[in-house]
Amino acid sequence: AHHQTPLLNVGGETIGYTQAFSRPINIKTIPRWRWVDATPIREDNPEQMKQLYRAYNNLIELMEKRDFEGLKMAYSLSMREHAKADGYFSKPEDYYDMVGFEEKFNQWEDAEVEPRRDWSEYSLKSYMGGRLVRLEDTRSHSPLRIGSNKSNKIVSILPYFSMIDGRIVISR
């Protein structure tokens, strides 16, 4: 094809039982994800933690109401960026579907949102210098849990949050 660069080592390089070939590639644009420029969230900042707790409570409320459109809106940034990272081979909604809210509620006839534990039972897990965060308990569960008493099972939804433009949003 005319858009490919030529191979640098046409004969290849033998590495063990394999032949390695290489060619230079040119990348024109790399997306800048929104979380990269996010304000770091710190556990010692009570206002930020209050906003994070509020974000979790809002999601729990949407889950209790089974407001799947509201949940989809909460995941909108994450959905769009996942689709972009995948070269738009998938629709943004496919990434929301992978989170599986509807599937998890339909999995068990008695599925319900598990009550949130006290905030003191969760610790802040921070990644990328505090630009991606989430809350986890000692079993790595988030406050977002769906369970079934009959099946004796609980699943936990584990989104990553970022503070973008002063708001806590789901970013991954």
Domain assignments of the chain as residue spans, ordered by start: 34-170
Across the range 102-108, mean pLDDT stands at 94
Confidence at residue 12, expressed as pLDDT on a 0 to 100 scale: 74
Q: Which residue has the tokens 């094809």?
A: 1
Task: Report the chain's terminal Cα–Cα distance, integer Å.
Answer: 36
CA dist 6 → 18, 26, 158 (Å): 20, 12, 44
Q: Which residue has the tokens 């769009």?
A: 80
Higher local confidence (pLDDT), 27 or 102: 102
Q: How confident is the model at residue 33 (pLDDT cuts 50, 70, 90)?
A: very high
Confidence at residue 15, expressed as pLDDT on a 0 to 100 scale: 82
- Assess contact for 82 and 95: CB atoms under 8 A: yes
**Pairing mode, strands 18-20 and 13-15:** antiparallel
Confidence at residue 4, expressed as pLDDT on a 0 to 100 scale: 65
Is the pLDDT confidence value at 24 over 90? no
Q: Which of 28-37, 121-130, 148-157 has the lowest mean pLDDT?
A: 28-37
Q: Which of 40-44, 62-66, 83-87, 102-106 has the lowest mean pLDDT?
A: 83-87
Confidence at residue 27, expressed as pLDDT on a 0 to 100 scale: 75
Beta bridge partners of 155: 146
Confidence at residue 19, expressed as pLDDT on a 0 to 100 scale: 81
Q: What DSSP line would sit under 88-156, residue for residue?
A: TSS-HHHHHHHH-HHHHHHHSTT-EEPPPPPGGG-EEEEEGGGTEEEEE-TTS--S-EEEETTTTEEEE
Confidence at residue 25, expressed as pLDDT on a 0 to 100 scale: 76
